[in-house]
Structure 1
Amino acid sequence: MKDQEVKEPIPPTKRIHKLVLTGGPCGGKTTGQASLANFFENLGWKVFRVPETATVLMSGGISFGDLTEEQVLDFQEHLVVTMMALEDTYFSMGEKCAQNVLIICDRGVMDASAFIDKEAWDRILSKLSLEDIEISDNRYNHIVHMQSAAIGAEKFYTTEDHSARFEGLELARERDRRAMDAWRDHPYVDIIDNRSDFDSKINKLIDLVAKRIGINVGDRFNANSRKVKFLISSVPKDEEFPVKFTDFQVVHHYLHSAKKGFQTRLRKRVRNGRPTFTFTVRKPELQGQTVEMKQQVSQRDYLNLLTHRDDSHLPVFKTRRCFLYQNQQYSLDIYRSPCHPRCKGLVFLETFTTLEDKEILSSLPPFLRVKRNVTGDPAFSMYNLSIRSDWQESVDQFCHRLSSDDEDEKDEVYDVKQAHERLVNLSESDSSSDISI
């Protein structure tokens, strides 16, 4: 018989990565899920988010603390069945997608074992003809445990942002320990604790998932990485853009906030006619940290929240172009009409880097004309750009430090007239001599 030719294995042309986000209460799962979805969608991946089954069931009137022992077992059994059915729906949809797919499960099947003893859990598995390895190792590619703020970040622990959360500190710590123990046998488990600030915790999550998948993200998620923002004077035409890109049509609305110092906004992001909706709350600085909470919401919730929009701000319409250049992720924000006259023609390039200011310019994509590094300048903050009235007529509204577009504004600029002049002068200038770091 003729020997068969042995060839190098051909890697799969499509990836389906099944991720479980687990952990104790107030660990950052909700914001982490939204941030992961945003990052991978920017790369052109399709992202599915499987809702937390327990929260869905308990929001219908079930109170776990009021259940008898028999009811708890019955609840956990139905929880497992419902969770697997939900997940299987998304897994099936992922198989039918032509593009790479990330499926984020808000907790996985093994989490159900954290609420009952081993004997009871074994009875449930036996009744459902399941085995631990099948609902753990063979079902999910990767587990990430987000440690509860009740362990090491107690000042940030709260139950007010989650309708189904009731745990005090001690119970939250116990829930965290049991959730961690439930996944101890899975071959790919990463634990993210609270030794760094909240933003670093979320960045570490994205970095871990990207690395597990095998995506090179450069230094974006390094501990000392920071966001930088540049004003761009020109962008190549679509057909001449030299690297692959993904365009999203984005609109931001700022909302009224009931709490002083809080900033809230809604974002609608559309690709190929399909929208996603994000609700963001940026809280005032506490213990040296400014915490931004992001949550994916339904279209119905988006429309309900939109009734609370702050009409002192105009909506912001942008095309966001995401692309990779030399293993570095970039975003171009191209402001579109309708917009305030001050926004007309504005284009910003954003990325994360560990480079010093003097090194950044030479590393930027050479096919973009950079006018100036505007990182931290309130004159170019989306929040201030959206203010309906003239800045000099709304000095109290102009934000000098706390921005709602993910910028660290360390240099306070209190002269709004000078801020206006910088915006106008740079926006109208189109000379390469304006390039500045």
Structure 2
Amino acid sequence: MSEVLFLLSAALPLLFARAPGSSSSEASATSSLPPPPPPPSNAPPILRFVLTGGPCGGKTTALARLSNFLRELGFDVYTVPEASTLLLSNGAAPSNFAIEGWGDKFQVSLLKIQEGLEGAFHRLALATNRKSVLLCDRGLMDGKAYMSLPSWHSMLDSLNLNEVEIRDERYDAIFHLTSAAIGAEKFYTTANNEARTETVEEARDVDVRTQKAWLGHPRHHVFSNSSDFESKLRELVDAASKVCGLPKLDKGGSRKFLVGDNWMEELISRGVNIQVFNVEKVYLYEDFNRPNSNSPTPPSSPTMKAGAKIVSEYSFIRRRTNKDNLRSHGQTTVITYSTGEQVEIKRIITAREYENAMRRRDPRRHVVKQSRCSFLIEGGSFTVHKYISPRPGLGVLHSQGKCEVPGWMGVVRELRGEEDEKEYGAYGISLKEGEREAAMEERGRVQGREGGGRKTFR
């Protein structure tokens, strides 16, 4: 939060700009920050994406998935936090919306903070002279969904702005994740965001109004709940890949292959552009005998049958370090249901959150350390996970969709099924010698007590 507040300070002078209906004595500034200078014609691209949508659409998980994907392909990724959550979780009480005029002033402050944060991250990206993506947790047009049209246009006029300027010219793509309240109602919740208070009906209305607010942008993508959540995320990654000029990914999901020892030499000899980084993955301890109250709420999945039970769940934290020793952190919770559907809930965390979570490290499991190498070949996206510990030398190739793997990569065989996952997946590999049997015995006792319900090991 300290990093966010530092960036927020860049936007604070803007808060004194005149709001609709305010007097000139309230402030001296009447316009927003000037746009950042355009990059040189030969500079790497700096793309700006907005992730928006109605409440409980899976935006937090989508931000984590998309940022990880783009980093693996060599982009610097900056995640611009949601200004509304910053305000509402730091003293701007929702009850104040009942005060006449307070809501409009809130939207002015929100727009200015959002603009200031985006500008700060854009200037930092510009200074690196590297290809970059700004992932904005909502954008400037989102405010239109929460204001009357007269108030909205009055605000833009007071700030010398117009819709084309803050919609079409500002962002490269808009990715709208439809609320679970539309098509996946049984998964709608307000429990995983303290700033969220909308009922299902209100969430539907907000979602529709948000879609309309962004209507007209040349790259306005709307991802519905017509399929499962994983498909929704893959469609998002496909759309982002296209905007970035990357190959469109097949929607068949990720495949895994066991590879030999010479794949790196082959990549280098063939001049393939690669991105290499190290990953530390730490599995967290779960108590078999109680529900995990800290688990994030599963995102929407309308294909799941009513009455589906959680049959397995585990969480891990991940630290990724690139060649410049720059680090990013994330947390993933993997939930498997009795229907066979598996959901991965990802979120970006801070270095402090990572260190705090380390206190809950599962002592029965190794810290998994890998060197990962990502590359593009013949329209396919690939990443090799080479284990440093606890299985040094083991290499597993991950491919997006049904991309053909070149023969010179030295594939031994494709990995399929639960047994291969236990033998070659990080979750199975992490379990220390002698702990697997104990875990299986404990799982059996839990299943006996709960009649085949929740357990924490597969």
Give TM-score, length-normalised by structure 1: 0.81
CA distance in 2, matches of 1:234, 1:200: 33
Q: Aligned to 1:246, which of 275, 288, 313?
A: 275
SS in 2 for 1:234: coil
Asked if 1:347 corresponds to 2:377, the answer is no
Mark the CA change 1:11 to 1:97 in structure 2 (over 3 Å): closer, same or farther.
Answer: same
AA at the equivalent of 2:342: T
Contact 2:43 2:129 in 1 (8 A): no
CA distance in 2, matches of 1:366, 1:13: 36
Compute the displacement of 1:45 (Å).
Answer: 0.8
Asked if 1:164 corresponds to 2:188, the answer is no
Matches within 5 A, 1:172-211: 172-211=203-242
SS in 1 for 2:163: coil
Compute the displacement of 1:398 (Å).
Answer: 9.8
Mark the CA change 1:246 to 1:398 in structure 2 (over 3 Å): closer, same or farther.
Answer: farther
Compute the displacement of 1:368 (Å).
Answer: 2.4
CA distance in 2, matches of 1:200, 1:208: 12
Runs of 5+ consecutive residues of structure 2 not aligned to the other structure: 1-39, 293-309, 445-456
- CA deviations 1:58-114 (Å, max 9, x no partner) are 111223244223211111111111111111111112222222111111100110121
CA distance in 2, matches of 1:80, 1:397: 55
Mark the CA change 1:81 to 1:229 in structure 2 (over 3 Å): closer, same or farther.
Answer: same
Name the % identity: 32
Identify the residue that residue 232 of structure 1 maps to in structure 2.
259
SS in 2 for 1:367: helix
SS in 1 for 2:336: coil
Contact 1:283 1:290 in 2 (8 A): yes
Contact 1:383 1:399 in 2 (8 A): no
Asked if 1:364 corresponds to 2:405, the answer is yes
- CA deviations 1:117-152 (Å, max 9, x no partner) are 111112211222221111111111111111001100
Compute the displacement of 1:282 (Å).
Answer: 1.5
SS in 2 for 1:283: strand
Identify the residue that residue 144 of structure 2 maps to in structure 1.
113
Number of paired residues?
378
Compute the displacement of 1:201 (Å).
Answer: 0.2
SS in 2 for 1:263: strand
Identify the residue that residue 61 of structure 1 maps to in structure 2.
91
Asked if 1:267 corresponds to 2:318, the answer is yes
CA distance in 1, matches of 2:155, 2:339: 45
Which one is further off, 374-383 or 275-284?
374-383
SS in 2 for 1:262: strand
Asked if 1:382 corresponds to 2:411, the answer is no
Matches within 5 A, 1:38-437: 38-67=68-97, 68-217=99-248, 220-222=249-251, 225-235=252-262, 236-237=264-265, 240=269, 242-257=271-286, 258-259=291-292, 261-271=312-322, 272-285=324-337, 289-336=341-388, 339-340=389-390, 343-354=391-402, 363-376=404-417, 377=420, 378-390=422-434, 393-396=437-440
Which one is further off, 196-205 or 70-79?
70-79
Contact 1:47 1:103 in 2 (8 A): yes
SS in 2 for 1:112: helix
Runs of 5+ consecutive residues of structure 1 not aligned to the other structure: 1-9, 356-362, 401-413, 417-437
Identify the residue that residue 30 of structure 1 maps to in structure 2.
60
CA distance in 1, matches of 2:139, 2:232: 21
Identify the residue that residue 453 of structure 2 maps to in structure 1.
none
Which one is further off, 142-151 or 343-352?
343-352
Contact 1:267 1:279 in 2 (8 A): yes
CA distance in 1, matches of 2:137, 2:157: 25
Give TM-score, length-normalised by structure 2: 0.78
Compute the displacement of 1:43 (Å).
Answer: 1.0
Compute the displacement of 1:29 (Å).
Answer: 1.1
Compute the displacement of 1:38 (Å).
Answer: 1.0
Which one is further off, 385-394 or 115-124?
385-394
Which one is further off, 229-238 or 34-43?
229-238
CA distance in 2, matches of 1:109, 1:57: 15
CA distance in 2, matches of 1:25, 1:76: 18
CA distance in 2, matches of 1:295, 1:99: 25
SS in 1 for 2:190: coil
Compute the displacement of 1:353 (Å).
Answer: 3.0
